Amino acid sequence: METPVIRTAIYPGTFDPITYGHLDIIERAVEIFDRVIVSLGRNPEKGPLFSLEERMEMVRESAVNISGVEVDTFTGLVVRHAQEIGAEALIRGLRAVSDFEYEFQMALVNRRLAPDIITVFLMPNERYTYLNSTIVREVASFGGDVGRFVPPCVEERLKKMFQKIRSDGGSGLRGGAD
């Protein structure tokens, strides 16, 4: 009897923080793949608001009810990471046409570097097409309600982080990217 093939994909990103848009992409990905590894990139140049450990915890807490999801980290080329863990695909979310050009270029470069790894583009539900982590951080930094953008565990961490930053005189704000 043959062992069933487990189809694995990586959903790479910074997830600073994870949003409902990210979770929507993860839910779509697990419909296609047996195992989806949310891989957080270690990129010190991006200067994320949350530490790598905090971001991993938020992803785990937010995706706890989605079966087939794992959380990992990587440094360097995502296609190399995909090959090391036996993934066959990279998941990339496309919110708008503006995302497409960059993502298309990256997919072509990744194809050259690792022809065995495919890129799968997924679009989130239209209610999340405007949403990204940068917007969430900015709204939260001004004390705005981000409850419709992120899970409760993330909302709470954002509140605590910006309360701490305000009490420290703003010196803790590091910025970052998705």
Residues serving a catalytic function are 22, 46, 95, 133
Q: Secondary structure of the chain in the HEC alphabet?
A: CCCCCCCEEEEEECCCCCCHHHHHHHHHHHHHCCEEEEEEECCHHHCCCCCHHHHHHHHHHHCCCCCCEEEEEECCCHHHHHHHHCCCEEEEECCCHHHHHHHHHHHHHHHHHCCCCEEEEECCCHHHCCCCHHHHHHHHHCCCCCCCCCCHHHHHHHHHHHHHHHHCCCCCCCCCCC
Peptide bond into 44 cis (omega under 30): no
Axis-axis angle for helices 152-167, 133-141 (nearest 10): 50
Distance in angstroms (rounded) separating the CA atoms of residues 82 and 11: 10
